[in-house]
A and B are shown apart, each in its own frame.
Chain A
Amino acid sequence: MRKPFLVAALLVATPFFAACTENAKDSGGDSSDPRAVTVTSTDDSCDVSTTEVPAGTLKFNVTNEGSKVTEFYLLGADGLRIVAEVENVGPQLSRQLVVNAPAGTYTTACKPGMKGDGIRADFTVTKSGDQPAVSSDDQQLVDTALANYSAYVQDQSDQLVSKTREFIADYKAGNDDAARALYPEARTHWERIETVAESFGDLDPKTDAREADLEPGQKWTGWHRIEKDLWPQLAVDYTPLTPKQRAFYADDLMKNITTLDDRVQTLDYTVDQIANGSRGLLEEVAAGKVTGEEEYWSHTDLWDFQANVDGARVGFEGLKPIVEQKDPELAKTLTARFAALQKLLDAQKTATGFTFYDDLTQEQIKDLANAVNALSEPLSQLTAAVLS
Chain B
Amino acid sequence: MVGGGIAAGLAAGAFVAGRATADEPATAAVEADTYAFRGEHQAGIVTPAQDRLHFAAFDVTTASRAQLIALLKAWTEAADRMTRGLPAGEIGPTEGSVNLPPDDTGEAIGLTAGGLTITFGFGPSLFRDADGKDRFGIADRQPKALRTLPHFPGDVLDPEKSYGDLCVQACADDPQVAVHAIRNLARIGFGTVAVRWSQLGFGRTSTTSTQQSTPRNLFGFKDGTANIKSQETADVEKHVWVAPGADAGAEWLAGGSYLVARRFNMNIEIWDRQTLGDQEDFVGRTKDTGAPLSGGTEFTEPDFSMPGSNGPVIAKDAHVRLVHPDFNNGVRMLRRGYNFVDGSNPIGGLDAGLFFIAYVTDPDTHFIPVQNAMAKSDAMMEYLKVTGSALFAVPPGVAAGEYVGQSLFTS
Contacts and interface: CB of A to CB of B under 8 A. Distances in A.
Interface of A: 1-3, 8, 11-12, 21-23, 25, 64, 68-69, 71, 87-88, 90-93, 113-114, 212-216, 279, 283, 286-287, 290-291, 293, 362, 365-366, 369-370, 373, 376-377, 379-380, 383-384
B295 A90 contact: yes
Contacts of B296: 90-93
B347 interface: yes
Interface string B274-294: 111110111000111001111
Nearest to A279: B273
Interface of B: 150-151, 153-156, 267, 269-270, 273-278, 280-282, 286-288, 291-297, 300, 306-311, 313, 346-349, 372, 375-376, 379, 382
Contacts of B347: 290-291, 365-366, 369
B273 to A, nearest CB: 4
A213 B293 contact: no
B406 to A, nearest CB: 37
A279 B274 CA distance: 9
27 contacts: A1-B274, A2-B281, A12-B309, A12-B310, A23-B276, A25-B288, A69-B294, A69-B295, A88-B293, A90-B291, A90-B295, A90-B308, A92-B300, A93-B293, A93-B295, A214-B153, A215-B153, A215-B372, A216-B150, A216-B372, A286-B267, A287-B382, A365-B346, A366-B347, A369-B349, A373-B348, A379-B273
| 9 interchain residue pairs of minimum CB distance | A91-B295, A90-B295, A87-B309, A369-B347, A380-B273, A88-B308, A69-B313, A92-B295, A88-B309
Contacts of B287: 23
B306 to A, nearest CB: 6
B281 to A, nearest CB: 7
B310 A213 contact: no
Nearest to B375: A215
B276 A213 contact: no
Nearest to A369: B347
A287 B292 contact: no
B273 A215 contact: no
A362 B295 contact: no
B154 A213 contact: yes
Contact of A366 (B150, B273, B288, B346): B346
Given A88-B313, A90-B292, A93-B286, A369 B348 contact: yes
Contact of B308 (A1, A69, A283, A373): A69
A87 B315 CA distance: 13
B154 A21 contact: no
A314 to B, nearest CB: 20
Given A69-B306, A283-B273, A376-B273, A23 B295 contact: no
Nearest to A22: B276
A135 to B, nearest CB: 26
B348 A93 contact: no
A109 B156 CA distance: 49
Contacts of A286: 267, 269-270
A43 to B, nearest CB: 12
B306 A362 contact: no
B308 A2 contact: no
B408 to A, nearest CB: 31
Contacts of B288: 23, 25
A93 B307 CA distance: 15
